[in-house]
Amino acid sequence: MEKTRKALEDYGIDYDQIIVRGNAKEELLKHANSGKYEIVVLSNRKAEDKKKFVLGSVSHKVAKRATIPVLIVK
């Protein structure tokens, strides 16, 4: 996270780093849809079960239900 923070600051990009407890999908959506943000950037990892999803369940749900653009990076 430190490397990402430094890169964002070096490029002059405003960002919020939020740490919350709870269901990841619901917490991300609550913040994404709050009207405070312009974009959500998420990293992707494979779902832990044996199903072959292109996106993990968290990133998939956020991408489908967010009211702002979502960028998913590997």
The overall average pLDDT reported for the chain is 86
Q: What is the DSSP string of 12-55?
A: T---------S-HHHHHHHHHTTSS-S-EEEE----SSSS--SS
Looking at per-residue confidence, does 57 or 46 come out higher? 57
Average of per-residue pLDDT across 9-14: 94
Tokens at residue 35, please? 């009207």
Whole-prediction pTM: 0.73
* 36: in domain: yes
* 2: in domain: no
Can you give the pLDDT at residue 7?
92
Average of per-residue pLDDT across 49-70: 79
Residue 11 and residue 24: Cα distance in Å, rounded? 28
Residue 17 and residue 41: Cα distance in Å, rounded? 11
* 12: in domain: no
Domain around 67 = 20-73
Residue 69: DSSP 8-state: -
Tens of pLDDT, residue by residue over 35-53, are 999 999 988 766 555 454 5
Is pLDDT at 24 greater than 70 in this prediction? yes
* 32: in domain: yes
